[in-house]
A and B are shown apart, each in its own frame.
Chain A
Amino acid sequence: AQSVTQPDIHITVSEGASLELRCNYSYGATPYLFWYVQSPGQGLQLLLKYFSGDTLVQGIKGFEAEFKRSQSSFNLRKPSVHWSDAAEYFCAVGPIDNTDKLIFGTGTRLQVFP
């Protein structure tokens, strides 16, 4: 069955520290993978996406993610976190059932201390 797991519900880091948010997936073929960010009271915004090719993808706001097929992972990273990065982060996988649907993980809430 297709699924996405975000093992960390809540992560706290200090401003300026590095960040890695974990995402593991279960999928029968090479998936399309996405990371979205949701700031409080806002909708979801795409940070980055992987379809094929280079397994290290760059996104907006200084984020990057690496697709590791052997580990079924697509972890999100940022070398130096800013207070404005405090938000909830969702990993998603598709296509589902040959449609445009995505399956979203349960999210990781990031808290940043000054």
Chain B
Amino acid sequence: DAGVIQSPRHEVTEMGQEVTLRCKPISGHNSLFWYRQTMMRGLELLIYFNNNVPIDDSGMPEDRFSAKMPNASFSTLKIQPSEPRDSAVYFCASSPVGAGARNEQFFGPGTRLTVL
């Protein structure tokens, strides 16, 4: 299995531009998580999908952030407009079917976003 795939691995953009991060979860996994990691705030859960439905988006910082999961094999995290404080590493993780959080979360390699 290829694991969780994220693209791009690195993104450098200018303030005000739209940024779209992409994630392909492991096939058969039914939960998907978007996290943000910074030195100051550590690892933060932004949003969590189960069976393609957003279950908890309380971690999404503000309306500039949006996430979608149009099907079981693809999710996007969009920032519009981007700001320098959005600079961080964004991780996608997926978790297999059944038994709730007994299941390990499998993390992707992350997207390092730099907003100038």
Contacts and interface: CB of A to CB of B under 8 A. Distances in A.
Contacts, number: 59
Interface in A18-75: 32, 34, 36, 42-46, 49, 51
21 contacts: A36-B107, A42-B110, A43-B4, A43-B91, A43-B93, A45-B107, A46-B104, A90-B43, A95-B101, A96-B101, A97-B56, A98-B100, A99-B48, A99-B101, A100-B50, A100-B95, A100-B100, A101-B48, A101-B101, A102-B105, A104-B43
Interface of B: 4, 31, 33, 42-43, 45, 48, 50, 55-56, 91, 93, 95, 100-110
Nearest to A101: B48
B100 A43 contact: no
Instruction: Name the interface size band of chain A.
Output: 20 to 34
Contact of B42 (A43, A102, A107): A107
A72 to B, nearest CB: 18
A34 B110 contact: no
A46 B102 CA distance: 13
B108 A43 contact: yes
Interface of A: 32, 34, 36, 42-46, 49, 51, 90, 94-102, 104, 106-107
Given A95-B100, A101-B48, A102-B101, 16 more contacts: A32-B101, A43-B107, A44-B91, A44-B93, A46-B105, A96-B101, A97-B56, A99-B48, A99-B50, A99-B56, A100-B50, A100-B100, A101-B33, A101-B45, A102-B105, A106-B42
The winner among A34, A90, A100, A106 for most chain B CB atoms within 10 A is A100
Contacts of B91: 43-44
B48 A107 contact: no
A45 B4 CA distance: 12
